[in-house]
């Protein structure tokens, strides 16, 4: 089991809530005595975790930058589903998946994981090439979602999309040239939403493997949305439609 560095209040507190025994060390900036830090130290005491008090420079070196809010932790991995088959075979509800093609920015991935967790997504899937892996920045931005939503990296994304179709999962890509507007389609069943990187969009083979291409109507002057915002809009349209179906 490999260790990872978590930093910032959201990421560290989310891990302590989800799997406190996975946290091996907690480092706290000795100069911070504010109320937020006092509350955090009190929560550590309730878990019988003794923090290591260090100066800011030690934290900077541990994390690799200074945006740690005076807090970092060393933690082991949490075992989530490691394959798509593991995810799908244990579901008793229609799958809802998020597929990211070409998302290389850790802030974007972290935000996508956070949105996915909020929408009840069962897994986020990305290709191993041209994609960012889970790292400390992703974990901080995801605010704990990285510990709950499986992030599965695959060798061949187009082949994975074809395999998902064998599970009767409808593959829908978002594209400004899509022929269906988001609020005109039927997206409440077994779904995989495919998002491309901002600017470049989906790769050609990914686009061609989708069952349907959908556009998000834009009323303002901007031409596109950040990938995490677009993911949230589409995922929660599926959530809304599922809610309407369950109420019928």
- Summarised one tens digit per residue, pLDDT across range 69-83 is 999 999 887 777 788
Sign of CA dihedral 212, 218, 221, 226: negative
Smallest CA-to-CA distance from 194 within 91, 119, 97, 84 is with 97
At residue 151, the pLDDT reads 94
The total of structural domains in the chain comes to 2
Q: Which of 111-125, 172-186, 234-248 has the lowest mean pLDDT?
A: 234-248
- The CA distance from 15 to 13, in Å, is 5
Q: Which two tokens stand for residue 68?
A: 């740690």
Q: State which residues form the domain around 55.
A: 3-76
Using alpha carbons, list the distances in angstroms from residue 126 to 30, 48, 69, 78, 155: 39, 38, 30, 19, 9
115 in Cβ contact with 231 (< 8 Å): yes
- The CA distance from 78 to 147, in Å, is 7
The CATH number that applies at residue 113 is 3.40.1280.10
Query: Mean pLDDT score of the chain, rounded to an integer?
Result: 89
Query: 106 and 223: one domain?
Result: yes
Average pLDDT over residues 165-169: 95
Query: 35 and 66: one domain?
Result: yes
Type and span of the H or E element at 177: none
Query: 58 and 150: one domain?
Result: no
Q: Report pLDDT digits (tens) over 203-215.
A: 999 999 999 999 9
Domain boundary residue among 19, 46, 76? 76
216 in Cβ contact with 182 (< 8 Å): yes
Average pLDDT over residues 147-158: 92
The CATH number that applies at residue 41 is 3.30.1330.30
The strand pairing partners of 181, in sequence order, are 215
Please say if the pLDDT value at position 161 is more than 90.
yes
Please say if the pLDDT value at position 1 is more than 60.
no
At residue 248, the pLDDT reads 41
């Amino acid at each position: 089991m490999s260790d990872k560095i978590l930093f910032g209040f959201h990421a560290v507190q989310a891990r302590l809530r989800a799997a406190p025994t996975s946290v091996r060390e907690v480092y706290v900036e000795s100069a911070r005595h504010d109320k937020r830090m006092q509350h955090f130290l009190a929560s550590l005491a309730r878990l019988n975790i003794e923090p290591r008090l260090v100066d800011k420079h030690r934290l900077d070196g541990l994390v690799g930058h200074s945006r740690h809010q005076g807090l970092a932790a060393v933690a082991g991995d949490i075992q989530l589903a490691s394959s798509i088959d593991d995810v799908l075979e244990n579901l008793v509800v229609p799958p809802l998946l998020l597929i990211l093609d070409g998302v290389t920015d850790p802030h974007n991935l972290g935000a996508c994981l956070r949105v996915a967790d909020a929408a009840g997504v069962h897994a986020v899937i990305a290709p191993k090439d041209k994609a960012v892996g889970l790292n400390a920045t992703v974990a901080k931005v995801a605010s704990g979602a990285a510990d709950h939503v499986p992030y599965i990296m695959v060798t061949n994304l187009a082949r994975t999309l074809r395999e998902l179709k064998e599970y009767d999962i409808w593959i829908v890509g978002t594209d400004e040239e899509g022929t269906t507007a988001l609020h005109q389609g039927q997206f409440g069943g077994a779904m995989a939403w495919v998002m491309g990187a901002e600017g470049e969009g989906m790769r050609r083979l990914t686009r061609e493997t989708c069952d349907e291409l959908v556009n998000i109507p834009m009323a303002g002057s901007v031409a596109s949305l950040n990938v995490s915002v677009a993911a949230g809009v589409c995922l929660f349209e599926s959530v809304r439609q599922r809610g309407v179906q369950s109420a019928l």
